[in-house]
Amino acid sequence: MASVWKRGGVYLDLVYTFPGAILAGTALGWLVDRWLGSSPYGTLVGFFLGVAGAFWYLFKMLGVFTRKKGPGGGT
């Protein structure tokens, strides 16, 4: 039963982290725009970096980057 709750916690973590990373990147880009007066470029760069970071975290949590030894060999 504990493994079901643990998996649920991982997915609940993703529910908050995914949009949070996008929002944080966009907000930082907006602040850079206000500081440098380069609107909308900082916001766009921040948004895309936030999306990239959110997907990186998603793939990391789901185990996409981990190597698994299988019958085919590998290291």
Which pLDDT score, from 0 to 100, does residue 22 have?
97
Residues 17-51 have pLDDT tens digits of 999 999 999 999 999 999 999 989 999 999 999 99
- Domain boundaries in the chain? 16-62
Task: Say if residues 18 and 57 touch (Cβ distance below 8 Å).
Answer: yes
Please state, in angstroms and rounded to a whole number, the distance separating the CA atoms of residues 36 and 49: 18
Which pLDDT score, from 0 to 100, does residue 2 have?
62
Is the per-residue pLDDT at 71 higher than 70? no
Please state, in angstroms and rounded to a whole number, the distance separating the CA atoms of residues 30 and 43: 5
55-59-62-64 Cα dihedral, nearest 10 degrees:
160
- Span 6-13, average pLDDT: 81
